[in-house]
Amino acid sequence: MSSRPPVIRVEDLHVWFALPGGGELHAVQGVTFELREGERMGLVGESGCGKTTTILAMMGLLPATASVSGKVILEGKDILIGGEETISPHRWNDIAMIFQGAMNAFNPVKTVGAQIAEPMVLHGLATRKGARLRVAELLDLVGISGDRADRYPHEFSGGMRQRAAIAMALACSPKVLLADEPTTALDVMVQAQILELLVSLSSTLGQELGLTVILVTHDLPVVAQVCDRTAVMYAGQIVEMAGMSEIYHDPRHPYSRMLFAATPDLLGDEEVASIPGAPPRLDREIAGCPFRPRCDSVFEPCATLSPPRREPVAGHEARCHLNDPALTEMAS
Partner 1 sequence: MAPPGADARLLDVEGLIARYPVPRGLLGAVMRRPQLTVKAVDGVSFSVAAGEMVALVGESGCGKTTTAQTVIRMVEHQGGSIRFDGTEIGSLNPRELRPLRREIQIIYQDPYESLDPRFTVRDTIEEPIRVHSLVARSEDREAKVHEAMERAGLTPPELFIDRYPHELSGGQRQRVAIAAALVLEPKLLIADEPVSMLDVSVRAGILALLDGLRRDGMGVLMITHDLSTAAHFADRIAVMYLGRIVEEGPAREVVRNPQHPYTKALISVVPRRDPDQRTVPQILIGETPNPVNVPPGCRFHPRCPAAEGRCKETDPELREVVGLDPLHRAACLLL
Interacting residues with partner 1 (CB under 8 A): 46-47, 157, 159, 187-189, 191-193, 195-196, 218-222, 224-226, 244-245, 248-249, 258-260, 262-268, 272-275, 278
* Rounded least distance, CB 206 to partner 1, Å: 23
DSSP 303: G
- CB of 92: closest distance to partner 1 in angstroms? 29
User: Cα(81)–Cα(84) distance, rounded to whole angstroms?
Assistant: 9
Identity of the residue, 67 or 157, whose beta carbon is nearer to partner 1 in the bound complex: 157
Q: For residues 283 and 239, what is the distance between their CA atoms, to the nearest angstrom?
A: 19
Task: For residues 127 and 35, give the distance between their C-alpha atoms in angstroms, rounded to a whole number.
Answer: 34
As measured in angstroms, the least distance from the Cβ of 167 to partner 1 is 18
Return contacts of 135-139, CB within 8 angstroms, 24+ apart: 135/167, 138/167, 138/168, 138/170, 138/171, 139/113, 139/163, 139/164, 139/167
Closest CB to partner 1 among residues 168, 258: 258
Nearer CB in complex with partner 1: 110/249: 249
In this structure, are residues 58 and 72 in contact, taking their beta carbons and an 8 Å threshold?
A: yes
Closest-CA residue to 164 (of 96, 91, 113): 113
Q: How far is the CB of 256 from partner 1 (least distance, A)?
A: 12
Nearer to partner 1, 109 or 267 (CB): 267
Amino acid at 284: R
* 95/295 with CB nearer partner 1: 295
Task: List phi, psi (to 5°) of 82.
Answer: -105, 20
Q: Which is nearer to partner 1, 123 or 249 (CB)?
A: 249
Minimum distance, C-beta of residue 42 to partner 1, in the bound complex (Å):
10
Q: How far is the CB of 19 from partner 1 (least distance, A)?
A: 16
Based on CB atoms, which residue is closest to partner 1, 116 or 224? Answer: 224
Tell which residue, 213, 198, 224, 174, has the closest CA to residue 41: 213
User: C-beta of 193: minimal distance to partner 1 in Å?
Assistant: 6
Residue of 20, 31, 23, 171 lying closest to 95 (CA atoms): 171
What does the DSSP assignment read for 107-136?
A: -TTS-HHHHHHHHHHHTTSS-HHHHHHHHH
